[in-house]
Amino acid sequence: MQIWKLVSGILSIILFAIVSLQSCAAGLSNILTDSGEVSGSAGIAVAVLMLTGGIVSVATRKSQGKGGSIALIILFGLAALIGFVEHGSFSDLAVWSFWCVINAVVAFISLFTGRTGSVQ
Q: What is the pLDDT of residues 5-38, one digit of tens each?
A: 899 999 999 999 999 999 999 888 888 888 888 8
Interatomic CA distance for residues 115 and 30, integer angstroms: 43
pTM, to two decimals: 0.87
Q: Judge contact between 50 and 96, C-beta under 8 A.
A: yes
pLDDT in tens, 76-120: 999 999 999 988 788 888 999 999 999 999 999 988 886 544 444
- Measured CA to CA in angstroms, residue 35 lies from 26, 45, 97, 110, 117 at distances of 11, 19, 22, 41, 47
Angle at 33 between CA 32 and CA 36, to 5 degrees: 105
pLDDT tens digits for 60-84?
888 888 888 899 999 999 999 999 9
Domain ranges of the chain: 2-113
